[in-house]
Amino acid sequence: MNILLTGVAGFIASFTLKKLLDEGHFVVGVDNLNDYYSPELKEYRLKQFESNKNFKFIKADISDFEAMSVLFQTFKIDAVINLAARAGVRYSLVNPFVYYDTNSTGTVNLLELCKDYGVKKFVLASTSSLYAGLETPFSEDKPVNTPISPYAASKKSAEVSCYTYNYLYGIDVTIVRYFTVYGPAGRPDMSIFKFISLIDKNVPITLYGDGSQSRDFTYVTDIADGTVKALKNVGYEIINLGNNNPHKLSYAIELISKYLNKKVEYDYKPFHKADMLATWAEVSKAKNILGWQPQVSLEEGIENTIKWYKDNYEFASKIPLVD
């Protein structure tokens, strides 16, 4: 297939791109390379694919309808995987506008062009953040109507737009809700990346709350695998992709400390109102519909991530962290 993959220089999309190319697809990748976090890290991820003749990178913004139209005119696209997003929860309180521009309007732009150009398959990356306030484990049949950050609200908006375009025009949609994704060359605004970098440098880590909040940490290759499987025709489905095995943040910190062989110092801050106390994915739907199951344990995943950090030390240790 010819696949339009948005946010291609991003953490999850770069692993998804690898999987798509390995499976023989042609991929048009779009990213605006914004500087919310290190554009050098985005370039680093793209570099591994620059000589692949089945990959074409276009620097463009999904909130720019004209630019997206040109793409749909130029390439015969069979499916869209929309991973481009403003994805940090806390920064969404600082500048909510860019979140709605990309996550909500950008998604509608792509759906509208799928309708105009007869593209039949759309995959949207969504988030466990939508389950705020609900009891764990989170299953997809629970209504999610209480987003507690502009990030979550903008993703909810993208999800419901997908529903509308499926209902009106029959575009086949899989929405994948990811749970705290981590791994090599990850996001420098997320806890695992930050903790590795800070603990390695003997700098105190900022901990919001006491570390007892738990996350269903999910390794990035599992997420990429589920995202590619989500290209299957399903009608309209929302499917969790999570490890189904939550751990306390304090345990993840313990593992990092162990594999780096360094002691941890803490700078405690109050628990943030836009954060969730616990996440935990119910994944039977992913198993039944997509034949997907997580493969990588937190222990193995953190060990791999630290190996990448050490193997790329000159570059990785200098990536600026984002609050």
Ligand X SMILES: NC(=O)c1ccc[n+]([C@@H]2O[C@H](COP(=O)([O-])OP(=O)(O)OC[C@H]3O[C@@H](n4cnc5c(N)ncnc54)[C@H](O)[C@@H]3O)[C@@H](O)[C@H]2O)c1
What is the binding site for ligand X (CB under 6 A)?
Answer: 6-7, 9-13, 30-34, 42, 61-63, 83-87, 102, 106, 125, 127, 178, 180-181, 187
Distance, in Å, from the CA atom of 290 to the CA atom of 21, rounded to the nearest integer, reads: 20
Residue 312 to residues 219, 261, 318: CA-CA distances in angstroms?
Answer: 19, 18, 10
Give the C-alpha separation, 75 to 184, whole Å: 31
Q: Which is nearer to ligand X, 148 or 262 (CB)?
A: 148
Closest residue to ligand X: CB criterion:
10
CB nearer to ligand X: pick between 125 and 162: 125
The CB-of-177 to ligand X minimum distance in angstroms stands at 7
CB of 261 vs ligand X, minimal distance in Å? 27
Catalytic residue among 91, 100, 131, 151: 151
- Closer to ligand X by CB, 262 or 312: give it: 312
Integer Cα distance of 298 and 97 in angstroms:
34
For this structure, is 91 an active site residue? no
Contact 196, 257 (CB under 8 A): no
The smaller minimum CB distance to ligand X, of residues 10 and 137, is found at 10
Three-class SS of residue 268? strand
- Separation of alpha carbons 92 and 86, rounded Å: 8
Q: How far is the CB of 118 from ligand X (least distance, A)?
A: 23
CA-angle at 312, arms to 308 and 315, nearest 5°: 130
Nearer to ligand X, 63 or 166 (CB): 63
**Minimum distance of ligand X from residue 123's CB (angstroms):** 11
* Cβ proximity to ligand X, 85 vs 230, nearer residue: 85
- What are the beta bridge partners of residue 123? 81, 174
Tell me how far, at minimum, the Cβ of 146 lies from ligand X, in Å. 17
Which sign, positive or negative, has the C-alpha torsion 186, 188, 189, 194? positive
Q: How far is the CB of 106 from ligand X (least distance, A)?
A: 5
Q: Which is nearer to ligand X, 263 or 301 (CB)?
A: 301
The whole-angstrom separation of Cα 70 and Cα 270 is 47
Q: What DSSP character marks residue 102?
A: I
Cα distance between residue 265 and residue 217, in whole Å: 22
**Tokens 């209902």 correspond to what residue?**
167
Q: Roughly how many angstroms between the first and final C-alpha of the chain, as a whole number?
A: 39
User: How far is Cα 67 from Cα 49, in angstroms, rounded to an integer?
Assistant: 23
Output phi, psi for 20, to 5 deg: -65, -45
Phi, psi at 159, each rounded to 5°? -60, -45
Structure tokens at 86: 């403003």
Minimum CB separation of residue 296 from ligand X in Å reads 14
- As annotated, the active-site residues are 151
